Amino acid sequence: MFRQSGSLTPNRLLIMLEIRKLSKTYPGGIQALKGISLEVPAGMFGLLGPNGAGKTTLMKILATLLEPDSGTAEMNGFDLIIDQHRTRKMLGYLPQEFGLYPTLTAVQMLDYFAKLKGVAHKKERGFLIDALLEKVNLSSARNQRLGGFSGGMRQRLGIAQALIGEPELIVVDEPTAGLDPEERVRFHNLLAETASAKAVVILSTHIVSDVANLCSNMAIIRGGSILATSTPRQALAELNESVWTATVPREQAPALKSHLRTISSQTVDGQVRLRVISKAERPSEEFTPVTPTLEDFYLNLVTQS
Amino acid sequence: MINPFQTRFGAIFWNEVRTNSKRVAPYALMVLFSANAILWWGWGPAVQRGWATNSDFYISRNMGGFSIVLGLPIFTAVIMGDPVIRDFKLGVVTLIFSRPISRATYLLGKFFGNFFVLVCCQSAFAFTLFFLQAVPFKGMVVLPWRALPYFKHFLFTVVISHLILAAIYFTVGTLTRNAKAVYGLAALFYPIYIAGALLMRPFSIWWKVFLDPMGFGARNSFEPVEPWHQTAEFLNQHTVSYSSLLIANRGWMICLSAVCLFVLYLKFSITERPTKAREFSWLSLSTAGEGVYASERIDLLQTDSTFVRPRMEAASEPWPRVTIAHETFSHNLNKLIAALGIEFLLLRAERSLIVLLPLALVLSILDVAFFRVVPAVSYSATYAVKTANAMLLFLIGMSVFYTGEAMHRDRELRIEPVIWATPAPNHVLLLSKFLATLVLTLSFITLTGVVAITTQLIRRHPIEIQPYLFTYSIILIPGVVFLAAFSVMLNVLLRNKYLVYATTTGIGGALFYFYSIGSNHWSYNPTLYHLWNYANLTGGNLTTILARRFYWLVLAACCLLLAHLCYPRKSTGRSHASGGLPQRV
């Protein structure tokens, strides 16, 4: 069963990051966060939501780049919002939109970030950069100027810089947006390998398969509020034997849509393919049961709200 | 009848004009050229020698000087070097050529669109001189209002000279697709031109006619007027006429430009250049391709079919051990040095420096290199004082401009959130920008000093180092320290570099106006403009001067402190608005 926001995680000891009643309204009057609360355990945590849901605002607050109007975010007993310097020491941040100095090389860029993160010893820094470049498969492009990097290479360098200094909190904001499928899988592999039991990795995304692939826990956010927190498995169990599909003539579709909980509707070869949720019984004879996906869970919640 | 503005050529031509209208460079050139015109009109030899500022002779002389000295070929390269390169970089070229446009139309539209912009910029010089006829100084000789000589000499001397340069730069830039090659060529203009003039000395006049792009060889060979030996009355009534040799030279330059463009037309292609193959392997990042993550839920979730979750052993593969140090002074110093190193690397890639530094250097030593130097205390003192005064404007400009660029570069490149999320203290991020600009200006001062000493050596004037050290370290350095610090503070407070440029230009203009009308005091004159001479630095006034310079250093420290206190390190809606990035929710 999925839990509404604020409910407790089964294993209380695993919680590392606690967000309480976080609110943020921008000067233009847009209320980006409406007092959200979340408990984030160690490992990969997916924050799933459509564009404009408030994900980036939350990520920026956790990365000390934005101050909330109210609320707290505590990690291992200290407040991330108040003690910003300490937060930055344990933070690895990959923003959704970020740039690189185009005239520098990958090594120069990582070396710079390593120094800023406090890796003062030259030899250690050298080993770390070599290992990072190897990990993100950029060793052969180490002396190439960043201006010539493709989108995927830039993202991988971005995650490499976020991993410097063994951060305890890694905030990754929509890292796969704009990547082609091959690069996306490559990036998923990389993220999965970097997640460890010691760190909290928050992955913000609007792509359901990102969360399905990577996260052991997730939350769904929309309009600045958390709609649900769950594990992907619990989410799927919630919809078990409740998702149905049927392909019907176009003229029948409106009537079916009006009395069924429709989660998606696609036109295929002049007919309409409907995907609906019905927990009690088969909606009608045309419908056949299908295995639920995380996308069904997400769309069900989002369309409902 | 076909309206030329509605043709494909017209579309490309106007698009170039429109694109250039959004750039800063053309406006900066116009301001610079207008300022030059005002300078030559009000403070040139005409006023001292009683020459009419709008006589045919003086207009022709000004246009000639402007064409070769102040309408620097490097400016022509700035406008003409990269119009096609830009299209390739932005990937627009393929879109353009998917329309029924011929290469000739495209190239001519590009060339003439940009050349039109260049001529508009240069015409700021001619127009300023033209309008200045209406506001003569007291005692300035002005003939009755005239327009034709301005147009005639501008067209003949400036436009045609720069047409051939424009054609060469455009051709080189388009064929090599490398703007640096064009800037390099433009920077080499003077050495090549002077060497060519020396080599052509023994040859007949026809060689000069055919090989001199500026037309000076042909012009000097027939010009009978030697202004320094003529009376002002004679020069004011003198009408400059162009000889057939000079007309042949101008005609030949137009033909050469056409040949240049024809060669470009023959060689131009839009195909991708073969680049060095990247040694980049597409191996899977997963180290656990052979294994499957032990999860009973994997079949239930809609995962990518190509994704294989790695084994936990692979995930927890140890990283090289590193020691993280944050708090001590030496570690913060290391961070500052690292940030400074990056700032230098980025400064090295600044294209504007290639243009600005040689220009500033030439103009700073122009007076001591090409005019008579009368020693006041000593030759070195005169050289040091003159170069210090000449450098002043450039130092102010460099301090303001490069601080602004450094302070806003991170935001413009969208790297700011990543840097701000690191545990680098605010003072490291601020001081690195401040020190980078400071070191740049100090390097410029040193370079100018070295060139001035070399000039002294060439002119066989006795050399002393002390006057340079005294003048530069007491007068110039505290001034640039304050200017850079003040600029850092303004950039932090205003958060928009163009607003900072406008504000500093306004403040600077107002201050220099007050200084020029006699309202000049050291407490609001950070450069001590017109408030010192070399004797002050060696006599009893040294302590007073040092105290005044200390005052400005203290103010600089206050500016940095204020900048540090107000440094936001937050991505607010306002900062994004000024940086041009949308605020994401």
DSSP class per residue in B116-183: HHHHHHHHHHHHHHHHHTTSPPTT---PSP--HHHHHHIIIIIIHHHHHHHHHHHHHHHHH--HHHHH
Selected for mutation to probe chain B from A213, A215, A243, A263 (highest B CB count within 10 Å) is A213
Token pair belonging to B86: 């830009």
CB contact under 8 Å between A136 and B319, yes or no, is no
Interval A99-117 mean pLDDT: 91
Complex confidence, ipTM: 0.81
Sheet holding A261-268, edge to edge: A261-268, A271-277, A243-249, A288-289
Predicted pLDDT of residue B295 = 36
CB contact under 8 Å between A88 and B421, yes or no, is yes
Whether pLDDT at A241 is above 50: yes
Strand partners, A233: none
Q: Which residues of B touch A165 (CB under 8 A)?
A: 322, 324
Same domain (yes/no): A189, A253: no
Contact of B72 with B169, CB cutoff 8 Å: no
Whether pLDDT at A93 is above 90: yes
Q: What is the CATH number of the domain that holds A211?
A: 3.40.50.300
Whether pLDDT at A180 is above 90: no
Q: Which residues of A touch B334 (CB under 8 A)?
A: 115, 120
Interval A151-179 mean pLDDT: 87
Whether pLDDT at B294 is above 80: no
Whether pLDDT at A15 is above 90: no
B328 reaches A (C-beta below 8 A) = no
Predicted pLDDT of residue B516 = 80
DSSP annotation of B263: H
Whether pLDDT at A131 is above 70: yes
Among B residues 347-366, those touching chain A with beta carbons less than 8 Å apart: 348-349
Instruction: Provide the CA B158 distance to its chain's centre, in angstroms.
Output: 21
Residue A7 forms part of a structural domain: no
Which of A16-20, A112-116, A240-244 is least confident?
A240-244
Same domain (yes/no): A247, A123: no
**What are all long-range contacts of B267-271, with beta carbons under 8 Å and residues at least 24 apart?**
B267/B175, B268/B103, B268/B107, B268/B174, B268/B175, B270/B93, B270/B94, B270/B97
For residue B302, the chain A residue with the least C-alpha distance is A293
Residue A90 forms part of a structural domain: yes
Q: How far apart are CA A269 and CA B383, in angstroms?
A: 86
- In angstroms, the Cα distances linking B517 to B256, B513, B525, B548 are 51, 6, 14, 22
Q: How far apart are CA B321 and CA A32, in angstroms?
A: 40
Residue A2 forms part of a structural domain: no
Q: How far apart are CA B166 and CA B162, in angstroms?
A: 6
**Of A182, A236, A184, whose CA–CA distance to B299 is shortest?**
A236
Confidence of residue B108 (pLDDT cuts 50, 70, 90): very high
CA angle (A133 as vertex; A122, A142 as ends), nearest 5: 85
Token pair belonging to B307: 């994704």
Q: How many CB pairs under 8 A join A and B?
A: 205
Same domain (yes/no): A227, A102: yes
Boundaries of domain holding A223? 12-231
- Of residues B55 and B1, the one with the higher pLDDT is B55
Helix (H, G, I), strand (E, B) or coil at B113: helix
B321 reaches A (C-beta below 8 A) = yes
Predicted pLDDT of residue B551 = 95
Q: Which residues of B touch A98 (CB under 8 A)?
A: 414-415, 417-418
- Residue-by-residue DSSP string for B488-553: HHHHHHH--HHHHHHHHHHHHHHHHHHHHTT---GGG-TT-TTS--HHHHHSTTHHHHHHHHHHHH
B322 reaches A (C-beta below 8 A) = yes
Interval B351-373 mean pLDDT: 82
CB contact under 8 Å between B322 and A65, yes or no, is no
CB contact under 8 Å between B418 and A104, yes or no, is no
- Of residues B225 and B365, the one with the higher pLDDT is B365
Residue A156 forms part of a structural domain: yes
State the residue for tokens 């001189």.
B129
Q: Which residues of B touch A88 (CB under 8 A)?
A: 421-423
Exposure of B176 in the CB half-sphere (CA atoms within 13 A): 16
Percent of chain B clearing pLDDT 70 (strictly above):
86
Q: What is the pLDDT of residues B174-224, one digit of tens each?
A: 999 888 888 888 878 887 888 887 787 777 777 777 778 887 765 655 555
Same domain (yes/no): A79, A181: yes
Q: What is the CATH number of the domain that holds A262?
A: 3.30.70
Residue type, B386: K
Same domain (yes/no): A24, A172: yes
The two beta strands, A31-41 and A15-25, are antiparallel
B331 reaches A (C-beta below 8 A) = yes
Helix (H, G, I), strand (E, B) or coil at B210: helix
Strand partners, A267: A272
CB contact under 8 Å between B316 and A196, yes or no, is yes
Confidence of residue A135 (pLDDT cuts 50, 70, 90): confident
Contact of B501 with B396, CB cutoff 8 Å: no
Give how far B95 is from chain A: nearest CA, Å.
Answer: 21
B469 reaches A (C-beta below 8 A) = no
CB contact under 8 Å between B572 and A185, yes or no, is no
Whether pLDDT at B476 is above 90: yes
Highest mean pLDDT among B4-18, B39-53, B351-365: B4-18
Residue A1 forms part of a structural domain: no
Whether pLDDT at B497 is above 90: no
Who contacts A284 (Cβ-Cβ below 8 Å, separation ≥6)?
Answer: A246, A256
The partner residue sitting opposite B307, judged by closest CB among A67, A120, A213, is A213
Predicted pLDDT of residue B578 = 35
Predicted pLDDT of residue B297 = 38
**Would the CA dihedral through B388, B394, B396, B402 be positive or negative?**
negative
Helix (H, G, I), strand (E, B) or coil at A27: coil
**Of A227, A193, A202, whose CA–CA distance to A80 is shortest?**
A202
Contact of A173 with A95, CB cutoff 8 Å: yes
- In angstroms, the Cα distances linking A15 to A7, A11, A231 are 12, 8, 14
Confidence of residue A5 (pLDDT cuts 50, 70, 90): very low
Predicted pLDDT of residue B318 = 67
Q: How far apart are CA B297 and CA B288, in angstroms?
A: 19
Looking at B44-102, list the stretches that DSSP marks H as alpha helix, in order from N- to C-terminal side: 45-49, 56-65, 73-80, 83-90, 92-97
Beta strands (DSSP E) in chain A are 15-25, 31-41, 43-48, 70-75, 78-79, 91-94, 169-173, 200-205, 217-222, 225-230, 243-249, 261-268, 271-277, 288-289
For residue B306, the chain A residue with the least C-alpha distance is A185
Predicted pLDDT of residue B1 = 63
**Would the CA dihedral through A228, A230, A235, A238 be positive or negative?**
negative
Who contacts A280 (Cβ-Cβ below 8 Å, separation ≥6)?
Answer: none
Q: Which residues of B touch A121 (CB under 8 A)?
A: 322-323
How many structural domains comprise chain A? 2
Tell me the Cα Rg of chain A.
22
Predicted pLDDT of residue B439 = 94
Residue A244 forms part of a structural domain: yes
Interval B326-343 mean pLDDT: 87
CB contact under 8 Å between B320 and A100, yes or no, is no
CB contact under 8 Å between B345 and A104, yes or no, is yes
Whether pLDDT at B315 is above 70: no
State the residue for tokens 């191996």.
B283
Same domain (yes/no): A177, A270: no
CB contact under 8 Å between B321 and A192, yes or no, is no
B310 reaches A (C-beta below 8 A) = yes
Predicted pLDDT of residue B227 = 65
For residue A55, the chain B residue with the least C-alpha distance is B585
Contact of B189 with B73, CB cutoff 8 Å: yes
Same domain (yes/no): A216, A253: no
Whether pLDDT at B584 is above 50: no
- Of residues B569 and A11, the one with the higher pLDDT is B569
CB contact under 8 Å between B414 and A97, yes or no, is yes
Within 10 A of B356 (CB to CB), how many other CB atoms are there?
Answer: 18
Q: Which residues of A touch B326 (CB under 8 A)?
A: 89, 118
Exposure of B249 in the CB half-sphere (CA atoms within 13 A): 27
Token pair belonging to B201: 């000395």
Q: Which residues of B touch A208 (CB under 8 A)?
A: 302
Token pair belonging to A225: 């509020």
Same domain (yes/no): A143, A32: yes
Give how far A119 is from chain B: nearest CA, Å.
Answer: 5
Q: What is the pLDDT of residues B27-42, one digit of tens each?
A: 988 998 898 888 888 8
CB contact under 8 Å between B326 and A118, yes or no, is yes
Q: Which residues of B touch A95 (CB under 8 A)?
A: 417-418
Residue A3 forms part of a structural domain: no
Q: Which residues of B touch A135 (CB under 8 A)?
A: 285
**Of B522, B439, B515, whose CA–CA distance to B507 is shortest?**
B515
Predicted pLDDT of residue B560 = 95
Token pair belonging to B323: 């020691």
Last residue of a domain, one of A190, A206, A231: A231
Interval B223-249 mean pLDDT: 76
CB contact under 8 Å between B342 and A108, yes or no, is yes
Whether pLDDT at B320 is above 90: no
Predicted pLDDT of residue A20 = 93
Among B residues 263-302, those touching chain A with beta carbons less than 8 Å apart: 278-281, 283-288, 297, 300-302
Q: Which residues of B touch A104 (CB under 8 A)?
A: 342, 345-346
Q: Which residues of A touch B422 (CB under 8 A)?
A: 88, 113, 116-117
Highest mean pLDDT among B67-76, B138-147, B162-171, B490-499: B162-171
Exposure of A61 in the CB half-sphere (CA atoms within 13 A): 27
Q: What is the pLDDT of residues A147-158, one digit of tens each?
A: 888 888 888 899
For residue A84, the chain B residue with the least C-alpha distance is B423
Q: Which residues of A touch B319 (CB under 8 A)?
A: 128, 131, 163, 166
CB contact under 8 Å between A117 and B286, yes or no, is no
Q: How far apart are CA A35 and CA B31, in angstroms?
A: 53
Interval B121-137 mean pLDDT: 90
Same domain (yes/no): A198, A292: no
Who contacts A195 (Cβ-Cβ below 8 Å, separation ≥6)?
Answer: A43, A44, A201, A214, B315
The H or E element containing residue B209 is helix B205-211
Whether pLDDT at A3 is above 60: no
- Of residues B70 and B173, the one with the higher pLDDT is B173
Same domain (yes/no): A114, A216: yes
CA angle (B389 as vertex; B384, B392 as ends), nearest 5: 120
Q: How far apart are CA B487 and CA B526, in angstroms?
A: 13
Same domain (yes/no): A283, A299: yes
Give how far B304 is from chain A: nearest CA, Å.
Answer: 7
Predicted pLDDT of residue A46 = 92
For residue B429, the chain A residue with the least C-alpha distance is A116
Exposure of B51 in the CB half-sphere (CA atoms within 13 A): 25
CB contact under 8 Å between B417 and A93, yes or no, is yes
Same domain (yes/no): A206, A67: yes
The partner residue sitting opposite B324, judged by closest CB among A52, A117, A294, is A117
Whether pLDDT at B278 is above 50: no
Q: What is the pLDDT of residues B515-546, one digit of tens each?
A: 887 888 999 999 999 888 888 888 778 889 99
Whether pLDDT at B296 is above 80: no
CB contact under 8 Å between B280 and A140, yes or no, is yes
Token pair belonging to B105: 């139309």
Q: What is the pLDDT of residues A228-239, one digit of tens each?
A: 998 888 888 888
Percent of chain B clearing pLDDT 90 (strictly above):
32
Interval B161-180 mean pLDDT: 92
Whether pLDDT at B303 is above 60: no
For residue B349, the chain A residue with the least C-alpha distance is A103
CB contact under 8 Å between A189 and B286, yes or no, is yes
Who contacts B67 (Cβ-Cβ below 8 Å, separation ≥6)?
Answer: B157, B158, B161, B162, B214
Q: Which residues of A touch B345 (CB under 8 A)?
A: 101, 103-104, 108
